[in-house]
C-alpha cells in the first residue's frame, strides 16, 4: 500500500508516476503486442519499484496508425489490448496494491475510422457532420493555409468533393473543432465514462492544440516545428484552451476524492506551461523544458529555477520528466554507453530530489538505450512514412521490455512469441530478472532511491546551497543533494550520507564527488 494511502486527495503533488506504453510493456496473449492482461501480470514490478501511480497510453479501439493515438471509439478497449472487463480488473488490481491509474485522453483528433469522421465524409460541405471537424475550401488548388503536420508534410488533406480537412498529425487523425458545442459535451461524457469505471485521472494528449486561432491564419514560417520552441504558432497554445480545462476541472472535482489531470502541453517556456495549472485548471503539466535540457549544471539549474518560479505563484507542483514514448531515451541522449548510463544514474538522484512530482518512462529503470538500428521493415511510426522515409521516428524508444534473461521475447510475452519490435542482442542482461538483487544495477538504484524519497519532507521549498559552476547543490526539506558535472569536487555534507550514484570517498563531512555523480544526504 502506498504510504500516502489511496484516500489522500493531495497524493499527486509529490507522486512518482510510471508511464506504461501499453504496446511494449507486457504481452499476455502472445500476439507480440503488449496488452491489459500483460500489465496486470506485471503490476508487482511497479509496486516493488515503489511508484505511486501508472499512466497507461491509449488502449482504445484504433486502426493503430499512430500506436493508438488515433482513437475510433473512446468508450471501449481495442481487442488487441483486451476488454473493458480487463480495464476494470486492472484498475482494481492496481488499487489493491496502492497504485493509482491514469489513462490517456486524446481530444485534439479522432481516428479517421471514428463514426463522426465517417459521417463527415459522406455529408455535404457546411453540414453539422462536417462541423465536428475542420473542413475548409482550399486556396486555389492548394490547401486552406500553410500549416504543417507535426509528422511532416502539409496539415491538410483533400476529400473527393474538393474540401480539405485539418490534421495536425497523420492524415488518419483529423482534428476536431472545439468551437462546436457537441464536441465539448461529448468529451466531457468520455471523461465521466472512465471516471465512473474507476480511473484516478487523465493524461491529456496535445493539450495545447485543441483551439486554433480565429480564421486559421497562415503560420508564415517554412520550418514550423523547428521554431515551435521559440514562437507561438496559430494552432498551439491558444488562449481558448484554458476555458476547456476549467470545464474539465469541474468534472474532476465532482468526484470524491477529486480526480486529476496532467497536460501534454509543449510551450515556449515554463511561464506558458504554468498557465495550464492555474488553480481552476489542470493539476499538472509535463515539464518538457527539463527533458530537453542538456546534461550541464548551468542548463539544468536554469530550467529548475524557471520551473519553480513559474509554478509556485499558481500553487501547482512542478513536474520532472526525462523520457517518454516520443523522445530519444535519456541514456542515449546523455552520451550512450557507459557515459550515458553513469549520467542517467546521477540524473535519477537529481530528479527524485526535486520538489514536486516525477514521471518515469517504462524501461528507464533498466537503463534501456534508444534502439537506433531497428530494421527499416520493422518501423511503424507514421513519421517514417510521412517524412518520405528520411526520419526513423520514435520506434527506437518503444522496444518491448526485457523481463527475463531467457525466452524468445525475454519475458515480454510467452515463450515462442515474437515482440512487434525486435529486442536487441544483449538486452537479456538488462532484464528485470538480471538486475534484481545486483546492488550495482540501475534497477536497484531506482528501488532504493524511490524508497528513500518517501521520507523526504513533502511540499518543502528547494534551497540552493553554495557551489562552483560545475555543481548543483541544494536542500529540499530534510534531503541534501549534490550533482557534479565537472572534475572531481569536494562537497560538504551536513548529515549522514544516504545514497550515491557511484562509489564515492567520504571523510566525515567531506565527500569527494567524481564527475557525473550525484549524492543524497539526510539533513536532521
Ligand atoms: C502526443 C503523443 O504522445 C504522441 O505519441 C502522438 O503521436 C501525438 N500526441 C498525436 O496524438
467-512 pLDDT, tens digit per residue, is: 899 999 999 999 999 999 999 999 999 999 999 999 999 998 999 9
Cα dist. 224→235, 236, 273, 449 in Å?
Answer: 11, 11, 19, 40
The yes-or-no verdict on residue 82 having pLDDT over 60 is yes
Interatomic CA distance for residues 159 and 137, integer angstroms: 10
Catalytic site includes residue 264: yes
- Per-residue model confidence (pLDDT) at position 224: 87
Pairing, β 462-464 against β 471-476: antiparallel
| Residue among 264, 306, 365, 516 flagged as catalytic | 264
For ligand 1, whether the C-beta of 66 sits within 6 Å is yes
Distance 208 CA to ligand 1 centre (A): 12
Please give the class, per CATH, of domain 11-108+181-213+226-367.
alpha beta
CB 69 near ligand 1, within 6 Å: yes
Q: Determine the distance separating the centroid of ligand 1 and the alpha carbon of 106, expressed in angstroms.
A: 9
For a pLDDT cut of 90, what percent of the chain falls above it? 94
> What CATH number was assigned to the domain covering residues 462-522?
2.60.40.1180
CB 21 near ligand 1, within 6 Å: no
Section 357-368 average pLDDT? 98
User: What percent of the chain lies above the pLDDT cut of 70?
Assistant: 99
- 277 pLDDT higher than 90: yes
Supply the pLDDT for residue 6.
Answer: 58
CA 175 to chain centre: 21
Strands 510-513 and 505-507 turn out to be antiparallel
Which residue has cell 559552476? 469
- The reply to whether ligand 1 has any atom less than 6 angstroms from the CB of 205 is yes
pLDDT given at position 157:
98
pLDDT of residue 7: 67
Atom number of ligand 1 nearest to Cα 168:
10
Q: Check pocket membership of 420 for ligand 1, CB cut-off 6 A.
A: no
User: What is the atom index within ligand 1 of the atom nearest the CA of 106?
Assistant: 11
Q: Are the CB atoms for 424 and 431 separated by under 8 Å? A: no
Q: Tell me the CA–centroid distance for residue 67 and ligand 1, in Å.
A: 9
Atom of ligand 1 nearest to the CA of 169: 10
- For the question of residue 205 being annotated catalytic, the response is yes
Ligand 1 atom closest to Cα of residue 109: 11
- Closest atom of ligand 1 to 324 CA is 3
Atom of ligand 1 nearest to the CA of 206: 9
| Per-residue 3-state assignment (H helix, E strand, C coil) for 295-341 | CCHHHHHHHHHHHHHHHHHHCCCCEEECCCCCCCCHHHHCCCHHHHH
Cβ within 8 Å of residue 77, ≥6 positions away? 36, 59, 60, 61, 83, 84, 86, 87
Distance 521 CA to ligand 1 centre (A): 39
220-229, 280-289, 493-502: least confident range: 220-229
The pLDDT, as a whole number, for residue 3 is 38
CATH of 115-166, one of 3.40.50.720, 3.40.710.10, 3.40.50.970, 3.90.400.10: 3.90.400.10
At residue 193, the pLDDT reads 98
Positive or negative, the CA dihedral 364, 422, 334, 317 is negative
Alpha-carbon distance 7 to 257, whole Å?
7
Which of 205, 306, 365, 370 is labelled catalytic? 205
**Residue with CA at minimum distance from ligand 1 atom 2:** 205
Among 57, 203, 206, name the best residue to mutate to test ligand 1's pocket (greatest count of ligand atoms within 8 A of Cβ). 206
pLDDT band at 221, cuts 50/70/90? Answer: confident
User: Which is higher by pLDDT, 68 or 7?
Assistant: 68
Task: Measure the CA–CA gap between 501 and 488, rounded to whole angstroms.
Answer: 14
Task: Quote the ligand 1 centre to 502 CA distance (angstroms).
Answer: 36
Q: Residue 8 — φ and ψ, nearest 5°?
A: -70, 110
Give tens-digit pLDDT for 97-122.
999 999 999 999 999 999 999 999 99
231 confidence band (pLDDT: 50, 70, 90): confident
Mean of pLDDT values over 320-324: 98
Our answer on whether the CB atom of 170 is closer than 6 Å to any ligand 1 atom is no
Closest-CA residue to 325 (of 250, 393, 253, 271): 393
| Residues facing 481 on adjacent strands | 474, 520
Pocket test for ligand 1, best of 57, 149, 172, 205 (most atoms within 8 A of CB): 205
DSSP 221: -
For residue range 449-469, list pLDDT tens digits in order. Answer: 999 999 999 889 999 998 899
How many angstroms does the Cα of residue 205 sit away from the middle of ligand 1? Answer: 6
Average pLDDT over residues 289-312: 97
**172 Cα: distance to centroid of ligand 1 (angstroms):** 13
Q: Does the CB atom of residue 395 touch ligand 1 within 6 A?
A: no
Kindly report the number of other CB atoms within 10 A of residue 70's CB atom: 25
- Which grid coordinates belong to 404? 527475463
Distance 300 CA to ligand 1 centre (A): 25
Ligand 1 pocket: which of 263, 326, 327, 384 to mutate (most atoms within 8 A of CB)? 326
Q: For the chain, what is the mean pLDDT?
A: 96
- Whether pLDDT at 5 is above 50: no
The CB of 169 under 6 Å from ligand 1? The reply is yes
Tell me, using a 6 A CB cutoff, whether residue 381 lines ligand 1. Answer: no
The residues, any chain, with a CB within 8 Å of residue 223's CB and separated by 6 or more, are none
Domain ranges of the chain: 11-108+181-213+226-367, 115-166, 462-522
Question: Residue range 217-226: average pLDDT?
Answer: 85
Ligand 1: residue whose CA is nearest its atom 11: 69
Asked if pLDDT for residue 4 goes beyond 50, the answer is no
Confidence check: pLDDT of 2 > 50: no
Amino acid at each position: 500500500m502506498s504510504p500516502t494511502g489511496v484516500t489522500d486527495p493531495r497524493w499527486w503533488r509529490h507522486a512518482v508516476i510510471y508511464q506504461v506504453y501499453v504496446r511494449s510493456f507486457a504481452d499476455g496473449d502472445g500476439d507480440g503486442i503488449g496488452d491489459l492482461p500483460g500489465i496486470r501480470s506485471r503490476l508487482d514490478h511497479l509496486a516493488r519499484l515503489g511508484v505511486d501511480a501508472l499512466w497507461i497510453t491509449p488502449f482504445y479501439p484504433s486502426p493503430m496508425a499512430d500506436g493508438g493515438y488515433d482513437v475510433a471509439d473512446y468508450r471501449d478497449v481495442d481487442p488487441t489490448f483486451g476488454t473493458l472487463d480487463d480495464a476494470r480488473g486492472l484498475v482494481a488490481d492496481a488499487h489493491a496494491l496502492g497504485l493509482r491509474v491514469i489513462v490517456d485522453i486524446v481530444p485534439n483528433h479522432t481516428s479517421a475510422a471514428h463514426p463522426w469522421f465517417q459521417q463527415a465524409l459522406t455529408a455535404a460541405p457546411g453540414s453539422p457532420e462536417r462541423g465536428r471537424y475542420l473542413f475548409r475550401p482550399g486556396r486555389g488548388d492548394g490547401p486552406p493555409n500553410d500549416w504543417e503536420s507535426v509528422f511532416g508534410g502539409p496539415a491538410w488533406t483533400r476529400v473527393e468533393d474538393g474540401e480539405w480537412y485539418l490534421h495536425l498529425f497523420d492524415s488518419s487523425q483529423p482534428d476536431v473543432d472545439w468551437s462546436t458545442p457537441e464536441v465539448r459535451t461529448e468529451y466531457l461524457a468520455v471523461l465521466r465514462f472512465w471516471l465512473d469505471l474507476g480511473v484516478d485521472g487523465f493524461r491529456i494528449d496535445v493539450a495545447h492544440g485543441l483551439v486554433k486561432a480565429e480564421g486559421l491564419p497562415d503560420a508564415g514560417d517554412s520550418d514550423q516545428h523547428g521554431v515551435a520552441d521559440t514562437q507561438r504558432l496559430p494552432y498551439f497554445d491558444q488562449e481558448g484552451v484554458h476555458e476547456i480545462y476549467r470545464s474539465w476541472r469541474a468534472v474532476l472535482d465532482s468526484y470524491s476524492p477529486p480526480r486529476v489531470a496532467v497536460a501534454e502541453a509543449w510551450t515556449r517556456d515554463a511561464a506558458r506551461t504554468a498557465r495550464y495549472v492555474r488553480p481552476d485548471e489542470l493539476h499538472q503539466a509535463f515539464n518538457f523544458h527539463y527533458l530537453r535540457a542538456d546534461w550541464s549544471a548551468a542548463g539544468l539549474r536554469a530550467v529548475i529555477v524557471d520551473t519553480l518560479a513559474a509554478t509556485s505563484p499558481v500553487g501547482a507542483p512542478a513536474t520532472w520528466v526525462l523520457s517518454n514514448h516520443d523522445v530519444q531515451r535519456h541514456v542515449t541522449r546523455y552520451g550512450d554507453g557507459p557515459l550515458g548510463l553513469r549520467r542517467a544514474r546521477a540524473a535519477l538522484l537529481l530528479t527524485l530530489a526535486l520538489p514536486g512530482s516525477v514521471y518515469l518512462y517504462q524501461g528507464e529503470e533498466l537503463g534501456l538505450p534508444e534502439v537506433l538500428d531497428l530494421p527499416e521493415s520493422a518501423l511503424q511510426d507514421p513519421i517514417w512514412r510521412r517524412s518520405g522515409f528520411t526520419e526513423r521516428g520514435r520506434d527506437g524508444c518503444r522496444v518491448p521490455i526485457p523481463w527475463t534473461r531467457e525466452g524468445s521475447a525475454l519475458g515480454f510475452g510467452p515463450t515462442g512469441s515474437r515482440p512487434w519490435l525486435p529486442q536487441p542482442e544483449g538486452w537479456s542482461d538488462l532484464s528485470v530478472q538480471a538486475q534484481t538483487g545486483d546492488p550495482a544495477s540501475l534497477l536497484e538504484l531506482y528501488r532504493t532511491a524511490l524508497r528513500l524519497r518517501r521520507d523526504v519532507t513533502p511540499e518543502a521549498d528547494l534551497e540552493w546551497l553554495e557551489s562552483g559552476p560545475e555543481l548543483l547543490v541544494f536542500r529540499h526539506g530534510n534531503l541534501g543533494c549534490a550533482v557534479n558535472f565537472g572534475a572531481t569536487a569536494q562537497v560538504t555534507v551536513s548529515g549522514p550520507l544516504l545514497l550515491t550514484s557511484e562509489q564515492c570517498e567520504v571523510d566525515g563531512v567531506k565527500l569527494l564527488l567524481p564527475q557525473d555523480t550525484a549524492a543524497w544526504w539526510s539533513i536532521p
